[in-house]
Structure 1
Amino acid sequence: MTLVDRIASPDFMIALFAAISAAAIVFTLGTHIFERIERKDRMKKVAIEREQMRAREMARLRSQAQGRDNPRGNIRGTDARSYMKSTVQRFSLQKAFMDDNTVERLAQGGLRGQGELTKHLFVRFVTPFLLFGLGVLYLVVLAPGGRPLFLNLVYAIGVGLLGAYLPVLLLRNRIQKRQQSLRRAWPDALDLVLLCVESGMSIEHAIKRVAKDIGLQSVELAEELTLTTAELSFLEDRTRAYDNLARRTGLDGVRSVMTALIQAERYGTSVGQALRVMAEEGREARMMEAEKKAAALPPKMTVPLIVFFLPVLFIVIMAPAIITAMSL
């Protein structure tokens, strides 16, 4: 029996489909378990962040009461390695790779604190050299391919230059995934905040309650709302908490709602009325997004219809006539 016959045999196909089904079941269960573990870990990090913020604000208040300057220690991000810190300081990587939007983009990706900034700068510095070394090892030692040495070195340098943009691309991908999760859950969270405010809760308690309930739908949004609750409790200027939430998310919908809350806080207008208007706009925006996706579906289905459905349809229609003509 040849290899083709074995592959085409019913026993092999049954075993193959059974293996695929078993792998799909294991993957589904494993993904669900890992998501639950990740959700618990992230909420634990949020709780640690809240406690650190409380400790920082209490230290600042104590220092002000004693008439001393505020000792602003590095509370967040203390998990950066010592060799990363020394490398960043020795080569002045903050001047080389850091701009005005670096900290904000790291926060949009869920990476907050000086430790995450140090790691990001260190990775941007090390990745080109690491990929260059791997390229040289592969092109010169493992698979030279009969090419001249200088050509292999040029290829390795090209790989190293691509590695210089790899951390930026990974951060951009992380931000896009995080913003997608926030964008999907934000209208529902806004409706819940509106219901809590109209029931008599303050905006702090409403956001805290919604942060607990929205975690099943979006862990990222629950994390951001929990941090906003902590900032509303400990910051002197409440508008800074709203502005920080808008900057951390980077979404226009969140920014418009935070602007409305800042205006309501500043001019003493009704928070419930502002949230009601923003919630209606959010529902309309979500409906428009759904309509836009539905309108874009027919052009996207054109190519699959032409490539996959029409040939089968023609075969089904024309095959009987062709068989009849050939039998005559």
Structure 2
Amino acid sequence: MSAQTIKTLTDPAFLTALLVGIAVFATMMTLLPAFGGNPLKNRMKAVALERDELRAKQRARLVAEADRRSRGLREQQSTGMRRVVERLDLRRLLADENTVRQLKTAGFRGQNPMTQFLFFRLVLPFVGLGLAAVYIFGLGVMEDKPMMIRVFACIGAAYAGFYAPIVYVTNRASKRKESIKRAWPDALDLMLICVESGMSIEAAMRKVAEEIGSQSVELAEEFVLTTAELSYLQERRQAYENLAERTGLEPVKSVTQALIQAERYGTPVAHALRVLSSESRDARMTEAEKKAAALPPKLTVPMILFFLPVLFAIILGPAGIQLSQNGGFFGDQPQSSATE
């Protein structure tokens, strides 16, 4: 049975069909978002649902203050992942404040993403170890290697499974922060225009969320959530601090601090937004200049490897062809005539 399995897995026809199937699946997954409708509308719908959830949480908090013995929210039936996480106390072992902050920065809010993150960190090492053991020992892929190397390969697969959720969350947080960072100066300009026209901060953020959604859905989502928190939280300062914590960007933190100071001391918001908008645009221009200045060193190696050989071939090619036709550098010397 094992020999037949190995023969089937090493069959070129089977491998070709498997690769074609994987390519077709990847193509379908790539083209699927194009037929999934407007992503901005879907994200806005998700934000509306989250706003309703935030409103429900606020009402539940008010009820809890009136009757602290009410435990209705805690008596909900737990899912399978939550039961495993709570039974093994994974939150205390694998999670800390940095993990919660990273999940918020990646766009995962609430208890369910944390539960799924901890569950996958528990399960994926065993999955990686099992797959590596079947691939190495079951199929005999590394038969010529020593036993210790095969064991270390299995352990490495388990470690990869353990850190795979962290890598996924980190990559998603980086992409999300980059999207917000690109659209932030334009959002500040729009907010400045709205505030100078007489709109409040809540109305300005709501309007900017509608306009900036085509450029950055993530930033529009953050503005909508901040507007909801400004409406329902007791302290407006907490809403601004939550915005800075969810984004994890220094420009956003500077703006939130300016808004907090304006709320506390009554300073003009438009002036602070004008200064911060100018600073954000200067920072973006400086970053673009840094990238432009770093291009010559990065292009040195590609030019040596790809451009110079082609240039030498174009310049010296005709001369080499002519020399080969003439028989080399010296060519065929004409024989001297016979002496008289």
Does TM, normalized by the shorter one, top 0.5? Answer: yes
Letter of the 2:257 counterpart: T
Is the contact between residue 140 and residue 149 of structure 1 (CA under 8 Å) also seen in structure 2? no
Aligned partner (choices 255, 262, 272) of residue 257 of structure 1: 255
Query: Which residue does the alignment assign to 1:161?
Result: 159
Question: Does structure 1 residue 138 correspond to structure 2 residue 139?
Answer: no
Matched, 1:171 2:172: no
The one-character-per-residue Cα deviations of 1:103-161 (angstroms, maximum 9, x if unpaired) are: 11100000000111100111111111110011111111123442566653332122112
| 1:80/1:37 CA distance change after superposition, 3 Å | farther
Q: Counterpart of 2:44?
A: 43
Report how far residue 218 of structure 1 moved. Answer: 0.7
Correspondence for 2:101: 104
Relative to 1, partners in 2 of residues 1:248 and 1:92: Cα closer, same or farther, differing over 3 Å? same
1:69 maps to: 68
Deviates more, 1:105-114 or 1:137-146: 137-146
What is residue 223 of structure 1 aligned with on the other side?
Answer: 221
Residues 313 and 74 (structure 1 numbering): CA distance in 2 closer, same or farther, change over 3 Å? farther
Q: Secondary structure at the match of 1:200?
A: coil
Deviation of 1:233 after TM superposition, in Å, equals 0.7
Q: Secondary structure at the match of 2:267?
A: coil
Task: Please tell me whether residue 57 in structure 1 is matched to residue 58 in structure 2.
Answer: yes
Match of 2:313 among 315, 318, 327: 315
**Separation in 1, partners of 2:77, 2:111:** 8
Once the 2 structures are TM-superposed, how far is the Cα of residue 81 of structure 1 from its aligned partner? 7.0
Count how many residue pairs are aligned between Structure 1 and Structure 2: 300
- Alignment match of 1:125 (pick from 98, 112, 122): 122
Distance 1:70 1:197 in 2: 44
Q: Secondary structure at the match of 1:111?
A: coil
How far the C-alpha of 1:32 sits from its partner, in A, is: 6.4
Asked if structure 2 preserves the Cα contact closer than 8 Å seen for 1:80 and 1:115, the reply is no
The 5-angstrom pairing of residues 180-199 of structure 1 reads: 180-199=178-197
Looking at structure 1, the residues matched to 73 and 134 of structure 2 have their Cα atoms a distance apart, in angstroms, of 40
Gaps (5+ residues) in structure 1? 1-22
Amino acid corresponding to residue 56 of structure 1 in structure 2: K
Q: Is the 8 A contact 1:131 1:163 kept in 2?
A: yes
Give the Cα–Cα distance (whole angstroms) in 1 for the partners of residues 78 and 39 of structure 2: 23
The alpha-carbon deviation at position 298 of structure 1 amounts to 1.4
CA distance in 1, matches of 2:69, 2:267: 34
Where does residue 278 of structure 2 map in the other structure? 280
Question: Given that residues 136 and 156 in structure 1 are in contact (C-alpha distance below 8 angstroms), is that contact kept between their aligned partners in structure 2?
Answer: yes
> Counterparts of 2:316 and 2:77 in 1: how far apart (Å)?
69
The aligned counterpart of 2:81 is 84
Please report how far the alpha carbon of residue 238 of structure 1 lies from its aligned counterpart in structure 2 after TM superposition: 0.3
Higher mean C-alpha displacement, 257-266 vs 156-165: 156-165
- Aligned-partner Cα distance in 2 for 1:162–1:138: 15
Structure 2: 5+ residue stretches without partners: 1-23, 327-340
Name the CA shift for 1:35/1:192 in 2 (closer, same or farther; >3 Å). farther
Tell me if the contact between 1:80 and 1:119 (Cα under 8 Å) persists in the aligned partners: no
Q: Kindly indicate whether the alpha-carbon contact (under 8 Å) linking 2:142 and 2:150 is maintained by their aligned counterparts in 1.
A: no
Give SS of 2:199's match.
coil
What per-residue deviation string (whole Å, max 9, x for no partner) do you get for residues 261-301 of structure 1? 11111111111111111101011111111111111111111
102-111 vs 39-48, greater mean Cα deviation: 39-48
Which deviates the most, 36-45 or 233-242?
A: 36-45
Q: Which amino acid aligns with 2:169?
A: L
Return the alpha-carbon distance in structure 2 between the equivalents of residues 135 and 81 of structure 1.
33
* Distance of aligned partners of 1:93 and 1:323 in 2 relative to their CA distance in 1, 3 Å threshold: same
Counterpart of 1:232 in structure 2 is: 230
**TM-score, normalized by length of structure 2?**
0.81
Q: Deviations over 1:192-233 (max 9, x none)?
A: 111100111001000011111111111111111110010011
Other-structure match for 1:33: 34
| Code of the aligned partner of 2:119 | F
Counterpart in the other structure of 2:92: 95
The 1-side partners of 2:179 and 2:115 are apart by: 26
What amino acid is aligned across from residue 323 of structure 2 in structure 1? A
Q: CA deviation at 1:69?
A: 2.9
* Aligned-residue CA RMSD (Å): 2.6
Q: Is the 8 A contact 2:103 2:109 kept in 1?
A: yes
Aligned residue number for residue 20 of structure 1: none
Deviations 1:227-251 (A, max 9, x none): 0010011111001111000000001
**Equivalent residues of 2:47, 2:225 under 8 A apart:** yes
Taking a change above 3 Å as real, the CA distance of residues 320 and 280 of structure 1, as seen in their structure-2 partners, is: same
